[in-house]
Amino acid sequence: DAEITQSPRHKITETGRQVTLACHQTWNHNNMFWYRQDLGHGLRLIHYSYGVQDTNKGEVSDGYSVSRSNTEDLPLTLESAASSQTSVYFCASSESFSGSVSSYTFGSGTRLTVV
């Protein structure tokens, strides 16, 4: 069965370190997204991609980067981790439809703690 997997499930890192969170999907979806979820803020979009070599900034992109070298993967990198980036991170993917926004399939999330 097709799936979307995130790794690791939990991560503790120190301030200033570079951290990469993995997202891998086998749905063959063109669209992939990274969100962070914090109490009081719901889900906020970090970065997204509509296909290979395409990346775009979301509303909270500062301190984060992504790259899309193939259809299946969209890794999220925290360049220099800060305590404000302690959060739960969700990856999602969706089909690409002209003129419409399709539903998302979400991963199980990565809980990141920056100490």
Query: Applying CB under 8 A, which residues contact another protein?
Result: 31, 33, 35, 40-45, 48, 50, 58, 90, 92, 94, 96-97, 99-109
Specify the residue, 85 or 93, whose C-beta has the smaller distance to another protein.
93
Q: State which amino acid sits at residue 24.
A: H
CB of 103 to another protein, least distance (A): 4
CB of 88 to another protein, least distance (A): 9
CB of 35 to another protein, least distance (A): 7
Q: How many CB atoms lie within 10 A of CB 12?
A: 12
Burial class (CB in 10 A: 0-12, 13-18, 19+), 78: buried
- Whether 67 and 75 have beta carbons less than 8 Å apart is answered as yes
